[in-house]
Structure 1
Amino acid sequence: MQRERREGRTLNHRIDPRITRTTQAFEQAIVDLAAQRPVSQITIAELADRAGVTRATFYNRYSTPLDLLIQVLYADLERGHRLEEERRAQGGYSARALLRLATTEVADHVERFMAVYRHAIEDPADSGVYAALVRHFSDYALGFMARGHHPGLPDANREVIAQFMAHGFAGAIRAWLNDPSVTKDDLVDASVASAPAWWAVDADSTDTSDRP
């Protein structure tokens, strides 16, 4: 029995690199194709062909090209959030400085996938990408409000507050993408300036300076 378990673990180790390569191939394929045209126009057949695998392999992992694309976008956003948490744990940053850094991370994410987001916003059939972005920001806002004490946080329905925040930030991103005259710095500056006071106040202080 122990020998069989060892052999099973060895087999898993041998398979894991292949699984990783297949996952990476799918992720790269969906990003490449979604940068060329709206994800609603991407077929599973061409996605599988681009990744160098069969359609059956795709169906074993994902439901639709949109699901795969959202998974890729969320993973990239989460990397930025983990960096924010690391900064928060290290200390030495004011709440306002953390807000600016976190907002910049999101702006960098959108810039990395600029072509993908532009297609998603321009094509009504691709509302799923924008909706997923709003959902992500809403979940983030709920998590933020649940974490620690925030002086000035209104005694109101937090789901509604989170939706208000999420749609506002997603709308700011849409304005950036739709207007070539708006820069990434404009997005960050406007978003930070529009954030409610309770978001940019340290839990143990009323100091909202930009000092790191």
Structure 2
Amino acid sequence: MLLELGHSARRTRQEGSTLNDRIDPRITRTTQALERAIVELASERPVSQITVAELADRAGITRATFYNRYSTPLDLLVSVLYADLDRGHRLEAERAQEGRSAVELLRLTTAEVGDHVERFGPVYRRSLGDPSDSGVYEALVRHFRNYALTFMTHSNLPELPDASRNVIAQFMAHGFAGVIKAWLNDTSFTKDDMVDAAVACAPAWWAPGYLPGTP
């Protein structure tokens, strides 16, 4: 029996190794080419004006390859933006273990979002500046809403309000997205101004990183 289990475990490891070996490096190159292409094009004009044909041409792939992965250029762009935002949240989780104060965590978290917006500044400005193109802004709101819901679900703070968490999450999401939009629309409004405004408007119970198992 132990011998059979040993053979089974080896087969499992071998199958996993074979699966990894089967991951064609061309898939990674295609993904990277698509991500570069959508960021370049969305920096030139709103994503609603980008066609799959020109996106595929810029990435050096076929339209069929694109549709095997995404439905629209907006889907691809949102996945790129979300991936970058998620990297910032991983930093937030690490900082939460360092014993920082709630206010400091909030400032650092908001500044990290500001860094993300600066990295993709032309993309956000093109999209937010076009009345017919609300996809990127709506994606930003969805991201903050999901973040707020996750925070409230797992937070161990007793100060959480006794009200609909879905409504609260929407309120918080539109507030954070709104302050970013105001920052992008006003050249005299700096990133520090954006961070100051977001921290000033955050409710007293909002303490990023203060989840179960953290100080």
TM range (shorter): 0.7 to 0.9
Query: RMSD value over aligned CA atoms?
Result: 2.3
Bigger shift: 141-150 or 45-54? 141-150
**Distance change >3 Å, CA 154–CA 48, structure 1 → 2:** same
Contact 1:141–1:166 under 8 Å retained in 2: yes
Aligned to 1:128: 135
**Distance change >3 Å, CA 148–CA 55, structure 1 → 2:** same
Identity percentage of aligned residues: 74
Unaligned runs of 5+ in 2: 1-9
Contact 2:151–2:208 under 8 Å retained in 1: no
- Choose the corresponding residue for 2:184, options 177, 186, 189: 177
Pairing 1:43-192 to 2, within 5 Å after superposition: 43-88=51-96, 90-192=97-199
**Distance change >3 Å, CA 138–CA 197, structure 1 → 2:** same
The one-letter amino acid of 1:190's match is A
**Distance change >3 Å, CA 203–CA 67, structure 1 → 2:** closer
Q: Within 1, Cα distance between the matches of 2:209 and 2:86?
A: 23
Q: Within 2, Cα distance between the matches of 1:53 and 1:202?
A: 41
Contact 1:110–1:117 under 8 Å retained in 2: yes
Residues 1:40 and 2:48 aligned together: yes
Unaligned runs of 5+ in 1: 205-212
Contact 1:151–1:201 under 8 Å retained in 2: no
Q: Within 2, Cα distance between the matches of 1:53 and 1:141?
A: 37
- Choose the corresponding residue for 2:32, options 19, 24, 35: 24
Contact 2:106–2:208 under 8 Å retained in 1: no
**Distance change >3 Å, CA 203–CA 173, structure 1 → 2:** closer
Contact 1:44–1:65 under 8 Å retained in 2: yes
Q: CA deviation at 1:16?
A: 3.1
